[in-house]
Amino acid sequence: MSSTPKYRRVLLKVSGEALMGGQAFGIDIATVDRIAADVKEAKEAGTQHCMVIGGGNIFRGLSAAAKGIDRSTADYMGMLATVMNALAMQAALERIGVESRVQSAIPMSAVCEPYIRRRALRHLEKGRVVIFAAGTGNPFFTTDTAAALRAAEMSCNALLKGTKVDGVYSSDPVKVPTAERYAALSYHDVLARDLKVMDASAVSLSRENKIPIIVFSINDRGALAAVLRGEGRATVIGESA
Ligand code: UDP
């Protein structure tokens, strides 16, 4: 165990789709277990962890709105989907002995704690993983923005964005084999070039609060701990590239 981890406290953002594994929809328990094992390993190195999980594997407000549900209602449904994912992650963490708490931005007292900033900080100090559910609690936002907001509120040293690939590329590396991977980018680059890393409000919020965004692959077992040691493949987004 390292006494001085590179990052004291981080927020890990995982999209809902990352929980699907090979499935087309929903929650693949083996995948959730793998991510939980990664969090456990990274936490044991001495970093405090909080998490935001998306809901796109279950429900996406924008596409439901396009089909006729009014946008705010559809977005509330999307936020509820994130609560299911948070509970799945909590169960996976607790199966491997990692204490965790779910805090929802929409109070749901029979299911989990409401979001209370100071209480979340106490949980983190006690070594618990805090999973923030229901996004920001507001329609017309995304869980990326929720992640940037909670990372700022929790005074996190980094916002880790777990994606399908090991960083930010010049074009989609799945479609363009010659696509270049960036080791570092500035917030300005990401915003000006409209690089699809996180939505613009999440990037702006992180920039204002000087929280670096680290993009890495959530599909590579052990990548999270490696990134937190300052090793491994990732793109670091900060004030200067
Ligand atoms: N959502 C919302 N407000 C928030 C966060 C999420 O309305 O603060 C809704 C929105 O409808 C979104 C859905 O919840 O489509 C799922 O979140 P998101 O699309 O960010 O999940 P991800 O793409 O990360 O899986």
> What's the pTM value of the predicted model, to 2 decimals?
0.96
For the residues 9-20, what does the mean pLDDT come to? Answer: 97
CA of 53 to the centre of ligand 1 (A): 9
Q: Enumerate the β-bridge partners of residue 72.
A: none
Take residue 205 and report the two structure tokens written for it: 């919020």
pLDDT digits (tens, 9 = 90+) for 25-71: 999 999 999 999 999 999 999 999 999 999 999 999 999 888 999 99
Would you give the distance in Å from CA 10 to the centre of its chain?
A: 10
CA of 4 to the centre of ligand 1 (A): 35
d(CA 11, CA 152): 9
Q: How long is the chain?
A: 241
What's the confidence (pLDDT) of residue 2?
A: 46
Query: 92 Cβ partners below 8 Å, 6+ apart?
Result: 29, 32, 33, 35, 36
Give the DSSP H/E element, type plus range, for residue 64. helix 61-66
d(CA 239, CA 37): 32
d(CA 127, CA 123): 6
Q: Using a 6 Å cutoff on CB, does residue 162 contact ligand 1? A: no
Take residue 100 and report the two structure tokens written for it: 């965790």
At 233, give phi and psi (nearest 5°): -95, 125
Q: Using a 6 Å cutoff on CB, does residue 224 contact ligand 1? A: no
What's the confidence (pLDDT) of residue 3?
A: 52
d(CA 200, CA 197): 9
What's the confidence (pLDDT) of residue 10?
A: 98
pLDDT of 1 over the 60 cut: no
Q: Using a 6 Å cutoff on CB, does residue 17 contact ligand 1? A: yes
Taking each helix axis as running N to C, give the angle between helix 71-95 and helix 29-44, from 0 to 180 degrees, rounded to the nearest 10. Answer: 60
CB 52 within 8 A of CB 132: yes
pLDDT of 107 over the 50 cut: yes
pLDDT band at 182 (very low <50, low <70, confident <90, very high): very high
pLDDT of 151 over the 70 cut: yes
d(CA 88, CA 84): 6
Take residue 121 and report the two structure tokens written for it: 């900080």
Mean pLDDT of the chain: 95
